[in-house]
Amino acid sequence: MPQWVQEGPFAVLYTFLLVVVFFRAQGTYWVGRAAAAGTLRSRWARLFSSPQMERATAAIDRWGLPIIPLSFLTVGFQTAVNAGAGFLRLRWYRYTLAMIPGCLAWALIYSLGGLAAFQAGSALLARSPWALAAAVALVAAVLYVLVRVRHQTVSEPGTRRSGSPQDPTSRPS
């Protein structure tokens, strides 16, 4: 990343990352779309043009769009989802509308420190894969504890997990 972007104001960094992820996601989508077009000109074309595939594509196009913005919260899976959306020939405008919230979130995460965390993880991996595994396990354990503590403080005293009140005088039968 250019030094002027890293040292500039937050808005410059965020905008830069937003443009990068937008064009990267669109490029990946169009690579998937080109792969689909190539497949449709091959001997495998009938498999991808069958009524079942048409229904599957229509179903994903209609119901599967939430996976697109959620994929931007991952590393690696995001590329597969974007290419898959192109390969399945999802309509461009629907894909783009689903992609925009993911791009906004990705740019925010990376501009607020996600990039530094990724670089630290890469450096730790180069030093020792076991150290990276331990660090990831530690972060996961801390997050798990924080979620559990938050869940326990939010739930009301004297209620079960399902939310029904407990009767202190009743015994299990």
pLDDT in tens, 73-130: 887 788 888 888 888 888 899 999 999 999 999 999 988 887 677 778 888 888 888 8
Same domain, 24 and 47: yes
Same domain, 22 and 90: yes
| Whole-number Å distance between alpha carbons of 154 and 146 | 12
Residue 125 within any structural domain of the chain: yes
pLDDT in tens, 24-54: 999 999 998 998 888 777 776 666 666 766 6
Number of domain units in the chain: 2
Residue 161 within any structural domain of the chain: no
Residue 61 within any structural domain of the chain: yes
**Could you list the residue range(s) of the whole structural domain that residue 68 is in?**
3-113
- Picking from 107, 105, 103, 69, the residue whose alpha carbon sits closest to that of residue 85 is 69
Is the pLDDT confidence value at 163 over 60? no
